Amino acid sequence: MPVNRIVDRFRSLVNRGRQWLKDRKADRKAKRQSGLDRRLVLSLSGKRIPSTRQLKHLSRYLSSKEKTTVKMLTALVAVCLVIIGAKYVTVHIKEVPASGGEYVEASVGGPRFVNPILASTNDADLDIIKLVFSGLVRTDGKGKIEPDLAESYTVSEDGKTYTFTLKPGVNWHDGVPFTSSDVIATVGYIRDAAWKSPLATQFANVTAEAPDESTVVFTLKEPFAPFLSLLTVGILPSHLWQEVLPENAARAELNIKPIGTGPFRFKKFEMDKQGKIHSYKLSRNDDFYGEKAMLSTITFTYHEDFQLATDELIGRRVDGLSFLPLEFREAVESARTMRIYTLRLPQYTAVFFNQNKNPLLKSASVRKALALALDKEEILQGTIGYNGVPVHGPILPGFVGFHADVKKYRQDLGAAAEFLENDGWKMGDEGVRTKMLEGAGGEKTDTPLTLTLTTADAKENITVAQIIKSRWESIGVRTELEIIPSSRIQTDKIRPRDYDALLYGEIIGPDPDPYPFWHSSQNEPGGLNLAVFSNRRVDELLEQARASTDADKRRELYREFQDILAEDLPAIFLYSPTYTYAVDRRIQGIETTTIFTPADRFTDVQDWYMKTRRVWK
């Protein structure tokens, strides 16, 4: 090999060795610098994770593909965090009722006596009384009696003495403390004839004493089984009513601007120049002794009829309707914004005969013929269908004294005609029976068998009345229908007992005591004996039954009472309906299932709410 080639190869190897040494030296220098840089960075910050400021420069070192990947991963992480957060909130946060909201309810009629010892059957009065006043005891949402203004009570073994211990710290709406003297005064007002309280006869044999400001003792002459249910009556403030003369009680301003101890207090009302109240507003009583209401205010608006009231509900200008007649139910249901509540109500609808107004009804044969002409199933199916059951007496199933075997009048047109024929009523040419009867001048005249059937202006009542008219006229009884506005039937017809036959519903209380509805002492205006029925034996039975605490004895007495009623027939019992009202779905917390008056739908009003708030579980 030539020398020059050997020299060139040697030089090449030397150059490679030098380059290798140079590269090694550069690598070591770079590693030393990297270590220095790392130590420098770590010396300046204790964090090993890039800061936000550092991350801002990340995009300068990423490719387009890497940037897209990072964005997708970031979005995925964000979505996951949102889902996890929402799930956590859902599990750990809940909605609860919140204070506030104004509930507005439409009704028919208007208030007259917002006074628990003067009001009798006017629903507008009773609704407000339920919210403004409190009694010593109350019925809960299931119909059970429990203490209210009373903290506790005891009953003596002989059933004649009831001792109540009052709740401490209860104030009237004007801030004055409630004491036993208010209870004593209220009982005194009820018993005072000058007050003309419809409750007077129920408290006639009751005396009340107050050993101290927190104790009331009631003493009865005889045991009285329904006594506790009487004490649901609202108590009046004696410090205000003591200034009112008894004979002026019905005209006192306190009857429309009441002061009570209930969960709501009077705020204002709107009245026209004729004295008719169009709206009545209550505000929450923040000093209430019990559970305070969620709603801030409750306002009642009053209308001439249920058509107008229902229109207000469907138009959502009000939140509720005090009573939903059957004819408007479909329209309300189709609105889809309302919830309809159907409650069990101890009520019966009957035809009450006023023999004093129409002497032709004094004949038992005529009354029995009228009963035998009717088919209760036909009446039910033609009106409320499955929202009611036929009844044959004044004590309903489930109550002490219910008489399943009481005499029943089932439709028998042949038997009805026979009763009338045997009583001398002959069928005339015009299909109306007549009879020779002595007139006012003493002369006998051919008198047609006619009567007027009166009822309130509601589709259900009118339909029932039309069915009754058709059936009565089929046996030769000329029947005129008299339809009275619901807002006026109490004052114009019922109180003055101005009717031949009255188609009407009566509501009984927690105890089935028929005394208020069938004792002769209740015949006068203001009483509830709509048939104006007088029978000495019935009076005795009802007096004995309410004086007994023995359920078996009461059952026996009530059976005899119902047997007499079925034989004498002062009324035709038709059916027992349910009570239906409608409320906007925004109103929550309504749980009541059993009521004894329509006003009892407000029994658990403190649980009603419109607003909610979120809280951690």
Closest residue by Cα to residue 336 from 314, 358, 306: 314
Element (H, E) at 252: none
CB distance 164 to 150 below 8 Å: yes
Q: What integer is the mean pLDDT of 455-464?
A: 92
Q: Identify the pLDDT of residue 9.
A: 67
The structure tokens listed for 207 are: 């005396």
Helix extents (H) in 315-458: 329-335, 364-372, 376-382, 413-422
Q: Identify the pLDDT of residue 82.
A: 87
Closest residue by Cα to residue 185 from 132, 225, 243, 254: 243
Q: What integer is the mean pLDDT of 159-188?
A: 96
Q: For 535-575, how does the pLDDT look when each residue is reduced to its tens digit (9 = 90+)?
A: 999 999 999 998 887 889 999 999 999 999 999 999 999 99
Q: Is 13 exposed, middle or buried (0-12, 13-18, 19+ CB in 10 A)?
A: exposed
Number of C-alpha atoms within 13 angstroms, CB side, residue 457? 14
Q: Average pLDDT, whole number, for the chain? A: 88
Q: Identify the pLDDT of residue 452.
A: 97
Q: Identify the pLDDT of residue 361.
A: 97
Whether 80 has a pLDDT exceeding 80, the answer reads yes
Residues 6+ apart with CB under 8 A from 183: 136, 149, 164, 166, 208, 210, 216, 235
547/288: higher pLDDT:
288
Q: What integer is the mean pLDDT of 377-381?
A: 91
Query: Which residue in the block uniquely carries the two structure tokens 């009611």?
Result: 388
The structure tokens listed for 482 are: 């008299």
- Residue 144's SS3 state is coil
Distance separating alpha carbons of residues 22 and 28, to the nearest angstrom: 10
Query: Which residue in the block uniquely carries the two structure tokens 């207090």?
Result: 265
Q: What integer is the mean pLDDT of 349-372?
A: 96
Lowest average pLDDT, out of 64-73, 107-116, 152-161, 570-579, goes to: 64-73
Whether 198 has a pLDDT exceeding 70, the answer reads yes
Residues 6+ apart with CB under 8 A from 93: 614, 615, 616, 617
Q: Identify the pLDDT of residue 225.
A: 81
Whether 86 has a pLDDT exceeding 80, the answer reads no
Q: Identify the pLDDT of residue 565.
A: 96
Q: Identify the pLDDT of residue 578.
A: 81
Q: Identify the pLDDT of residue 382.
A: 85
CB distance 325 to 482 below 8 Å: no
Q: Identify the pLDDT of residue 65.
A: 79
Residues 6+ apart with CB under 8 A from 471: 373, 374, 375, 411
Through-space distance between the first and last CA atoms of the chain, rounded to whole angstroms? 97
Whether 426 has a pLDDT exceeding 90, the answer reads yes
Q: What integer is the mean pLDDT of 35-57?
A: 57
Closest residue by Cα to residue 358 from 349, 350, 370: 370
Q: Identify the pLDDT of residue 29.
A: 65
Q: Identify the pLDDT of residue 81.
A: 86
Whether 468 has a pLDDT exceeding 60, the answer reads yes
Q: Identify the pLDDT of residue 494.
A: 93
Lowest average pLDDT, out of 39-48, 180-189, 443-452, 608-617, goes to: 39-48
Spell out the CATH class of 347-577: alpha beta
Whether 343 has a pLDDT exceeding 70, the answer reads yes
- Which sequence spans correspond to the domains of the chain? 347-577
Q: For 205-240, how does the pLDDT look when each residue is reduced to its tens digit (9 = 90+)?
A: 899 999 999 999 999 988 888 889 899 999 999 999
Q: For 92-135, how does the pLDDT look when each residue is reduced to its tens digit (9 = 90+)?
A: 777 788 999 999 999 998 999 999 999 877 899 999 999 999 99
Torsion of CA 547, 521, 514, 543, to 10 degrees: 20
Which strands make up the sheet holding 450-456, listed edge to edge? 388-390, 571-577, 347-353, 501-507, 450-456, 478-484
Share of the chain above pLDDT 70, in %: 91
CB distance 166 to 208 below 8 Å: no
Predicted structure pTM score: 0.69
Distance separating alpha carbons of residues 575 and 470, to the nearest angstrom: 18
Sign of CA pseudo-dihedral 480, 485, 489, 491: negative
The angle subtended at Cα 216 by Cα 213 and Cα 218, nearest 5°, is 160
CB distance 453 to 482 below 8 Å: yes
Residue 294: pLDDT band with limits 50, 70, 90: very high
Describe the crossing of helices 551-568 and 536-546 by its angle, rounded to 10 degrees.
160
Residue 6: pLDDT band with limits 50, 70, 90: low
32/329: higher pLDDT:
329
Q: Identify the pLDDT of residue 3.
A: 59
Q: Is 303 exposed, middle or buried (0-12, 13-18, 19+ CB in 10 A)?
A: buried
Query: Which residue in the block uniquely carries the two structure tokens 């008219």?
Result: 469
Q: Identify the pLDDT of residue 266.
A: 97
CB distance 596 to 507 below 8 Å: yes
Sign of CA pseudo-dihedral 356, 502, 508, 524: negative
Whether 191 has a pLDDT exceeding 90, the answer reads yes
Q: Calculate the alpha carbon distances from 539 to 242, 409, 457, 543 in Å.
A: 35, 24, 33, 6
Residue 270: pLDDT band with limits 50, 70, 90: very high
CB distance 519 to 539 below 8 Å: yes
The structure tokens listed for 92 are: 């750990």
Q: What integer is the mean pLDDT of 190-201?
A: 91
Closest residue by Cα to residue 296 from 535, 145, 89, 101: 101
Q: For 471-487, how does the pLDDT look when each residue is reduced to its tens digit (9 = 90+)?
A: 999 999 999 999 999 88
The number of helix segments (H) and strand segments (E) in the chain equals 17, 24
Closest residue by Cα to residue 256 from 373, 115, 377, 363: 115
Q: How many residues would you count in the chain?
A: 617
Whether 172 has a pLDDT exceeding 80, the answer reads yes
60/444: higher pLDDT:
444
Distance separating alpha carbons of residues 409 and 364, to the nearest angstrom: 14
Query: Which residue in the block uniquely carries the two structure tokens 């003055």?
Result: 496
- Residue 454's SS3 state is strand
